[in-house]
A and B are shown apart, each in its own frame.
Chain A
Amino acid sequence: MSATTEQLERNFTHRFLTSLRRINSPDSKTTTTHAAGLVIRRRSLRIKRAAYSSMARAAGSHRAWTRALLSRARSQRRRQQHDVHPNYIPPAQRRKSSVKRAAAAGREMGRAGKLRGLVPGGSRMEMGQLLEETAHYVQCLAVQVRVMQAVADHFSSSSSM
Chain B
Amino acid sequence: MQPCSREMAAGGLNSPTTTTPSHQFQLHDLHQIHGGHHTHHFDPSSASADDFLDQILSSAASSPWSSAAAADLIKSPWADLAAGDSTHDDNNNGFFNDDPAAINLASKFRHHQINGGDTNNNHNNDNKMMLQQQLLMASAAAAAGDGAPLSLFNGFGSGSIQPQQHFHHPATQGAGGGAMQPGQSFGAGGGQSGAAASPGKSQPQASGSTGGAATASQGKPRVRARRGQATDPHSIAERLRRERIAERMKSLQELVPNANKTDKASMLDEIIDYVKFLQLQVKVLSMSRLGGAGAIAPLVTNDMSSEGGGGDCIQANGGSNPANGGGSESSMTMTEQQVAKLMEEDMGSAMQYLQGKGLCLMPISLATAISTATCRNQPSSPNLSVLTGGDVAVKDSTSATKP
Contact = CB atoms under 8 A, between A and B. Distances in A.
Interface of A: 1-2, 9-10, 13-14, 17, 20-21, 23-27, 30-31, 33-41, 43-45, 47-48, 51-52, 111-112, 114-115, 118-119, 127-128, 131-132, 134-135, 137-139, 141-142, 144-161
A145 B285 CA distance: 8
Given A13-B56, A13-B57, A131 B265 contact: no
A161 B31 contact: yes
A24 B348 contact: no
Contacts of B348: 30, 34-36, 38-40
Main secondary structure of the interface of B (DSSP, over half): helix
A132 B247 CA distance: 10
A138 B59 contact: no
Chain A contact residues, majority secondary structure: helix
Contact of B357 (A13, A25, A138, A159): A159
B17 to A, nearest CB: 16
Nearest to A157: B27
Given A30-B348, A153-B63, 13 more contacts: A9-B60, A10-B53, A17-B52, A30-B296, A38-B348, A39-B348, A118-B275, A131-B245, A134-B271, A154-B27, A158-B31, A161-B318, A161-B325
Contacts of B295: 24-25, 27
> 7 smallest A-B Cβ distances: which pairs?
A25-B311, A24-B292, A131-B248, A150-B60, A155-B290, A48-B286, A160-B2
B274 interface: yes
A10 B322 CA distance: 30
Given A111-B265, A118-B275, A156-B90, A149 B60 contact: yes
A10 B282 contact: no
Contacts of B118: 142, 146
B42 interface: yes
17 contacts: A24-B292, A25-B292, A40-B287, A43-B292, A44-B286, A45-B286, A134-B252, A145-B70, A148-B282, A149-B60, A151-B289, A152-B290, A154-B55, A156-B358, A159-B357, A161-B3, A161-B31
Given A141-B282, A156-B90, A150 B57 contact: yes
B391 to A, nearest CB: 10
B5 to A, nearest CB: 9
Contact of A148 (B159, B286, B292): B286
B56 A154 contact: yes
A26 B241 contact: no
A102 B293 CA distance: 38
Contacts of B281: 145, 148
Nearest to B317: A159
B399 interface: no
A147 B31 contact: no
A21 B41 contact: yes
B388 interface: no
B255 A135 contact: yes
A153 B244 CA distance: 41
Contact of A141 (B55, B278, B291, B346): B278
A128 B282 contact: no
Given A145-B281, A149-B66, A161-B322, A37 B351 contact: yes
Contacts of B53: 10, 13-14, 17
Nearest to A14: B53
A160 B358 contact: yes
A26 B118 CA distance: 37
B287 A44 contact: yes
Contacts of B63: 150, 153
B381 interface: no
Nearest to A140: B278
B189 to A, nearest CB: 14
A29 B347 CA distance: 14
Given A36-B347, A128-B244, A44 B289 contact: yes
A48 B24 CA distance: 26
Interface string B298-340: 0000000001101100000010011001000000000000000
